[in-house]
Structures are given as structure tokens and as C-alpha cells.
Chain A
Amino acid sequence: MFASHLQPNLTPEGVERKANRVGYGEGLLEAGTRDERVVALCCDLTESTKTDAFAKAFPKRFVQVGVAEQNLASVASGMAAMGKIPFIASYATFSPGRNWEQIRTTIAYNNSNVKIVGAHAGISVGPDGATHQMTEDIAIMRAMPNMVVIAPADIHEARKVALAAAKYDGPVYFRLGRSDTPVVTTAASPFEIGKGEIMYTKNASHATSVGIVVTGSLLFNALMAAKELETQGIGATVLHLATIKPLDTEAVRALAEGHDALVTVEEHQKIGGLGSAVAEFLSEVRPTKIVRVGIDDVFGQSGEPDELVAHYGMDVPAIIAAATKALE
């Protein structure tokens, strides 16, 4: 059963599709309107990262850094040291990809109040190919002390993440996709940093059940897989962890205790991402059979978003297959 606050038409034909970066742009503008300490910096990708609305509304609080991601991170650290709340936006392969050390030393180690926005994350970036498909960002960012790591599911959640990040005192990284992705949540759906949400609850009458932990834009696929599993007589619950770090350990543990096995789903390498985070935690407190859905230690390629997601094994059939395997 879908959570009551979700969109009504959650079917492949009925679901609306919008880019979550648009939600980020709206959230940033709103955060900037509410708090004049909010500033934005961008590396020649202002329109593409949807920082443009803020830049137009608050030109004096916008800094165009040029194509210089290392400088971007450290300039923001300096601004935060003076009391600003900088949002820095680029493509995730460049920030935090290229400027990871600057983020580590000048933002995370300083516990600097900078929000790092990695656009064009995941394989669904599409035709640009592997250079622009960031599939390692969760791994490199969650290993960094002081850093919060978030992957919003859709346009509504991306807006809430931007607003919550502006209010949160400390470094935050969040990733955004490029393509239009299913709009699953609504303005009424809850979002809180560090808290997971059950988006689909299993039918308790089934004898076996699987818990699906998902982050980011694959939430819709996880929901469709859960619905299909239910028709096959397998109970399925979907826990959406928009925040990957800090991990909502309570929710993950409860899911493991309430189901026979788990599947994790993310548009990211299997190495070091959500699946790793869940496995690391559960292996110490409640060893659980987990099958991870994600990219299997390979680079992507050009293609349409949906065909890439299918080819690299993150579509609905792949999630169902993973659930079946987990329950073997």
C-alpha cells in the first residue's frame, strides 16, 4: 500500500515526470528569500544546475566563479567563515569529483556551513556519456567526517532538501539528476534530514516479505517493483532514505527485523553507496541477507536515461529479480 501522502497516479503511464534540479532551484530561491545569508556560487553552469532563478533574484548574492571547481569550494568556505550560507553548484563529476580535497580540508574539516550541490548525478544523465555520469559521489562523500549526504527522490523532495540544508548548520552534500524523473512525493510528504520514510507498506498476510531500501530518483522503480511483488504473493515494504548519511539506523533495523531479506536500490556504484551503508550497519547489529541493486563496478555510456537504467540493472524487473534472489 502506497503511503497516503504520495501522488495519486503512481503507474508508469500515469506518473508525471519532472527534473529534480528544478525543485532545487525553487528551494534555493525560497531559502534565499527567507534568509539573506544564503548566497550561491556557480561554475559556468548556472542555467543547467537551476541556480539561475536565484542569480536573477539576488545578483549581489551570486558569484560566478567560472569553470574552476577547486576555487568554487574554497571561496565558499571563506564566505561561510564570514557568516554566509553558500550553495555551490556544478555537475557532480566536477564537484565533488574534481574538488574533493578542497571540500575535505576547507569545508568538512573546518565544519564550514557550505551546501554542495552535485547536479547530473547518476547514470540517467544519458547521452553525455560516462565522463558526465557521476556514479561514485555517495561513496566519496559519505566517507568524509562532518558531511551529510542526501539524494532527493524527485522535484518536491529536492525543494525541501534545499530548504532543510539552508537551515542545517554544517556541511551538506546533495545530488540531483539531469533527466525528468517520476514525481512520486507531494508538497505534503514529510522530509527531515536523517529520517527515512516508509513509502510502501507490505500486505501482512503474505508468508514471505522483502524490505526495499532505496535512495534518490529510483524511488518510483522501487515502488513499482514492490507493487508487482505483492501481486506475486511476496510482501514488500519500501523505505526511502533520502539521507544516506547520517543513516537512519532505527528505520533500517526495523525494516530488517520485519522482513525476510532486504534489497537496496540506488543509481550509483554498488561499491560504497547506500547498499554498502546499509550492509555495514546491519552486519554489526543484525546480520541480514541483502542484495544490492546498483552499478556493478563499470563506467556508463551514452544512451537514453531509461535504457541506461535498464542496461545497468536498476529497472523494475532488476529490482524484482534482486528481491527473488534475496529470498532464495
Chain B
Amino acid sequence: MKYLTSTEVRTLELTANTIRQSIIEMLSEAGSGHTAGPLGMADIFTLLYFAILKHDPKNPEWEERDRLVLSNGHICPVLYATLAHAGYFSVDELLTLRKFGSRLQGHPHKEVLPGIETSSGPLGSGLSQAIGMALAERMDNPYSSKYFYCLTGDGELNEGQIWEAALLAGKEQLHNLIVIVDRNGIQIDGYTKDVMPLEPLAEKFAAFNFDVQEVDGHSMRALNDAIGKAQAVYSQPSLIIAHTIASKGVDVFERDFRWHGNPPGKGPEDRVAKGQQAAVALEKLRTLAGTIQAQDIS
């Protein structure tokens, strides 16, 4: 793990801000897709792809790369935007999201876009796949330094397969496995506490033999520290509950589950009229008026 200087934190936060702007632009152009999750996960994706992962955008199939499995495929706008800004493909291509013939499918398709480790969308299967990758790696190289990251939503934890997978990860003591849960507290039908309560979540995964941490999902330093600690756990899989704010960065969209599955232009109108939603979001991001984070920026 590498300590982040103030300058590096500031650069990462600005990159995350750029990625958020791309998310708004691509969703607005697509006319459909998910907003809350991608905006909320922009900081985590930025930290992973710009400071943590061993990877090579010019050689996406590099054998020694760390693997990142996105389990909740519906937040792919943040994955696509991050990959583009990291150099996997052109930023211009982001505007093809969800269009006919695009490599940027509505949910990720491994076979067509570089940098995608698996196709996902149906919830709950990413953790199993990351476990399979980690198991395969351990068969070949017990002293491997590759890490296998799995990003999941919190609503996704309703799926039974997650808990099947958690049992196996605990049994196999997969120390190279690091799961990050996007704990934004919302899902399509409402707040997770109403749809299907998850708490005590940390205790649940601890009971499945995971090392569990809880962090502020918008603090680059806190996230970096947590991932560093997870990398230093040698007898258990790790799980980081990242407390995020849905739609983070655009204050007029934040914390509202109605932004889960709608793009700017089709979201709830009580705070911003549909026709103004994309422009307002971009303005908030450009001026940082819509963000309550970024102590290093302020």
C-alpha cells in the first residue's frame, strides 16, 4: 500500500469529478440507465484504477494484472468512464453507451470491450466469479501477489448466491479476495432498510469468516488505508463496507432512491425540472457547488 500525499488526493478527487461529468454526459445522451450508483462509486473506481490496481490500459490482457469484477453491472457507466479516462479506449466512445452496435452495452459484456473481466447485470454472481479467479490463481501460484477485487451493491446482497459464495470464500480463506460493498442504502424500490434490511451487515460477513472494515466511501485516504489493511490480511477474505452517498457530487440528486434507475432528463422533478437535470448536474460538478466532500479541494 502506498501513502497518498495531499497533492495525489487532490488529483484523484479532480479525476473523480471528471469521471462524474462523463457519467452525466453519457447517461444524458443514452436517455436511459442508472445515475445514483455510478455517481456514488466514482471515488472508489478512481482510487482503484488510478492508485491501487496493477493493470495496463494498453495491454488489457496482461497476465499479471489484478482482477476487478463488477458484480452489480448496472452501475457500468462509472466503470466505462473510468476505463476511458484511464486510457483503455477513447473518451468519445462513452457517448455510444446503450446505443445499437456499441461496445458499451447497457450492462457490461466481456466479449466486446477491453478491460471488462466479466459480463454482469443479473445480480449476485460477481462474488462467485472473483472467488473462482482467486482459487484458480492459488492452484497455479500459492504465493501470488495478484489481488481479486469484487465490487457489489448493497441491494444486491439480497441475492442468495452472495451468501453461497461467502461461505466458500470463508472456507477457502481466500486472502487475495477483497470485496467492496457500495453501501448507499438505496435500491430500486426504496431504501434498503425498507425493501430488505441488511443490518447488522458487518457482523453478518464477520460470521462468514471475512475480515470486515467500514469506511467513508468518499474519502480517498480512508479507502486507501482500508484497502491497504485488507491486503495485509493473510488468513481470511476481506470485505470493506464503503458508506457512500447515492448520486454523490450532485447535491440535488443525492440520497434519493428515485435516481437509482433514471438518467438525467428522466429523474424526479421536485428539485430540478427534467429538461434542466443534465445541465444542472454538470454545472454543479464543474463548480463543485454540488459536492460536500473534497476537503483537500476546498
Chain A residues engaging chain B, CB cutoff 8 angstroms: 39, 60-61, 63, 65-66, 68, 70-71, 73-84, 86, 101-102, 105-106, 109-111
Contacts and interface: CB of A to CB of B under 8 A. Distances in A.
Contact of A109 (B69, B109, B137, B161): B109
Given A74-B129, A84-B136, A66 B167 contact: yes
Interface in B82-138: 109-111, 117-122, 124-126, 128-137
B168 A75 contact: yes
Contacts of B120: 105
B207 to A, nearest CB: 16
A38 to B, nearest CB: 11
A184 B207 CA distance: 53
Contacts of A74: 125-126, 128-129, 132, 161, 165
A192 to B, nearest CB: 26
Contact of B133 (A73, A82, A105, A109): A82
Contacts of B118: 77-78, 81, 106, 110
Contact of A61 (B119, B122, B139): B139
B167 A70 contact: no
Contact of A82 (B124, B137, B164, B165): B137
A75 B161 contact: no
Contact of A39 (B69, B111, B121, B139): B139
A100 to B, nearest CB: 11
Interface hub of B125, B132, B139 (most chain A Cβ within 10 A)? B132
A71 B164 CA distance: 6
A81 B117 contact: yes
14 contacts: A39-B136, A60-B139, A61-B139, A68-B165, A70-B125, A70-B164, A74-B126, A74-B165, A78-B129, A78-B130, A78-B134, A79-B132, A106-B119, A109-B111
A65 B135 CA distance: 12
A75 B132 contact: yes
Contacts, number: 105
B139 A110 contact: no
Contacts of B125: 70, 74, 77, 102, 105-106
A65 B119 contact: no
Given A77-B129, A105-B122, A111-B111, A71 B165 contact: yes
Nearest to B136: A82
A84 B137 CA distance: 10
B161 A78 contact: no
Contacts of B128: 70-71, 73-75, 77-78, 102, 106
A48 to B, nearest CB: 20
B62 to A, nearest CB: 13
B60 interface: no
Contact of B167 (A60, A68, A82, A101): A68
B119 A105 contact: yes
Contacts of B119: 105-106, 109-110
B60 to A, nearest CB: 13
